[in-house]
Structure 1
């Protein structure tokens, strides 16, 4: 049985803890004024916001989405006023994706909400926060690779 291995139990508990934290940080449950997004839209918007001028191909690769799914998410984000497409100045046949000011405002509200909740939960003991972020980034990258 997998659960007999202490390391497996620890890793399963890590996954459960991440899920509980995500639930506690859900901006919609808190009534935060942000545009509701699907998980796919959230992943695409996060990538576009962090990588202004990204191409649809790069966004699909980074988010692990197939091109048709990415295209549908980008269309929906455009309709919600959160992403805009523009021709690539170096190659007019290619497109670039940019987050809009509405997206910037929403991301700003989310970041303020999340940092406030996390700071309230941890107090001034933030010494290990950077190491935790690094670990979770490695976990995310590893999960995407498999």
Structure 2
């Protein structure tokens, strides 16, 4: 097995991104209307912000979740009123999933809270923000493209 040496700044960036994500999740929400989500629920809701509807199979492939885990996540999101399942109008054999208006509103609300928290933590300094966003988008895209098709996960690369 060949190991590749990674320059320390990239390792630090990866670790830092994970720590920041955890801190954002740890904070919770100040708005009483905000519905807290598990990491997997958040992943599904983020994906549903980019499509009007999706089949569970497509959602599993696009989020990297195993299909059985996705079923549990969808039941939880349905019970919170954030998603709804319906019979596909194109092919009545399939079910589609879409975010409800409450789900879309919740996503906008928690996203605003995340933005405020990050802005406050940075002291409002956004001088390098566009460059940081560009780099992080490129990293995300590259990671999605390189996602392994293992352990029940699909190799779909859509986002």
TM-score bracket for this pair, using the shorter chain length: 0.7 to 0.9
Alignment of 1:68-79 (within 5 A): 68-79=68-79
Greater RCO, 1 or 2 (C-alpha within 8 Å, sep 6+): 2
**CA deviations over 1:25-47 (Å, ceiling 9, x no partner):** 22x52443422322211111211
1:47 aligns with 2:47: yes
Shift of 1:9: 1.0
Root-mean-square deviation (CA, aligned residues, Å) is 2.3
* Structure 1 alignment gaps of length 5 or more: none
Bigger proportion of residues as helix: 1
**Partner secondary structure for residue 8 of structure 2:** helix
* Distance verdict in 2 for CA 1:74–1:35, change over 3 Å: same
| 2:124 alignment counterpart | 123
* Distance verdict in 2 for CA 1:36–1:125, change over 3 Å: closer
| 1:56 alignment counterpart | 56
Distance in 2, matches of 1:125 and 1:41, equals 29
Distance in 1, matches of 2:115 and 2:27, equals 16
* Structure 2 alignment gaps of length 5 or more: 149-159
